[in-house]
Amino acid sequence: HGKAGPPGEKPAHPHAVMFGLTGGFVDEMRTIAMKLHTKDQAPKEGEKAESDLPLAKWRPTKEDFMMFLVDSQLMYNTIENLVQELDYPEYLPFRATGLERSAALAKDIEALKAEGMEVPSPGPAGRAYADLLTELAKTDPPAFICHFYNIYFAHSAGGRMIGQMMSNLVLDGRTLEFYKWDRDLKDLLPEVKAKINEVSEPWSREKKDHCLQETQKSFEYSGALMAETLAKAAPVSA
């Protein structure tokens, strides 16, 4: 399946050759991430066994969805503040990418509160992920950038589908600000991919592999956040 590059070009890393991808390091990140999806999430590339409660059977309450928004806001707030505040050259390109979500989430939570909903404190999974992101941002930029990529790119793809499903279940189908962007994602995503490629360009192969190895952890932490809030079965009627 691999496509040869232009004559004289350095051979691509085996992952890239195997999947016919030639778009820099971010393609390696995508390849690893897609393998960690289940077949029902990604029929062509997913390699994980289907979960005990597949997405189509999730039946959270409106309160569960609010909890998910609160946990998500903590996660995005943390990642966006770290990128803004830490004086690391690797993070400068990721300030104001247009993918930021914390302000949109604040609007959604405020709107639901105005309709009479209680706003809970973040749950254990949200707090655990915020703590991990804070630690990695300060000590391990390649690992942090792996989480950055997986958090924002998953939200722009499967995250939107999950959001629409949740909205249909508990919010009469309305689209929240969390699922709207000021610019077209078709323009935003390639810009951020190019920035990730640029930042990772000088990394050693070892550093790149270290970044890729963090993908599993990013799926575990974001998966725990959803399991705690959205992945709920319908109540069994008596």
29-61 pLDDT per residue, tens = 999 999 987 666 666 766 677 777 888 899 999
* Residue environment code for 2-18, b if the CB has 16+ CB neighbours within 10 A, otherwise e: eeeeeeeeeebbebbbe
Instruction: Look at residue 20 and tell me whether its pLDDT is greater than 50.
Output: no
112 touches 73 (CB < 8 A): no
Residue 46: its pLDDT value, please? 60
Return the H-helix or E-strand segment holding 16. Answer: helix 14-19
- Cβ-based neighbour number of residue 32 at 10 Å: 19
Amino acid at 15: H
Compute the radius of gyration of the chain from its Cα atoms. 19
Nearest to 149 by CA among 184, 183, 189: 189
Residue 51: its pLDDT value, please? 75
What's the pTM? Answer: 0.88
- Show the tokens assigned to 46: 């997913």
> What are 195-233's pLDDT values in tens digits?
999 999 999 999 999 999 999 999 999 999 999 999 998
pLDDT band at 10 (very low <50, low <70, confident <90, very high): very low
Beta pairing partners, 48? 38
76 touches 100 (CB < 8 A): yes
Nearest to 139 by CA among 192, 60, 82: 82
Better-predicted residue by pLDDT, 1 or 167: 167
Q: CA dist 50 to 34, 45, 68, Å?
A: 14, 13, 22
Residue 37: its pLDDT value, please? 78
Instruction: Look at residue 5 and tell me whether its pLDDT is greater than 70.
Output: no
pLDDT band at 151 (very low <50, low <70, confident <90, very high): very high
> What are 103-126's pLDDT values in tens digits?
999 999 999 999 999 999 999 999
Residue 140: its pLDDT value, please? 98
Instruction: Look at residue 177 and tell me whether its pLDDT is greater than 80.
Output: yes
Residue 226: its pLDDT value, please? 93
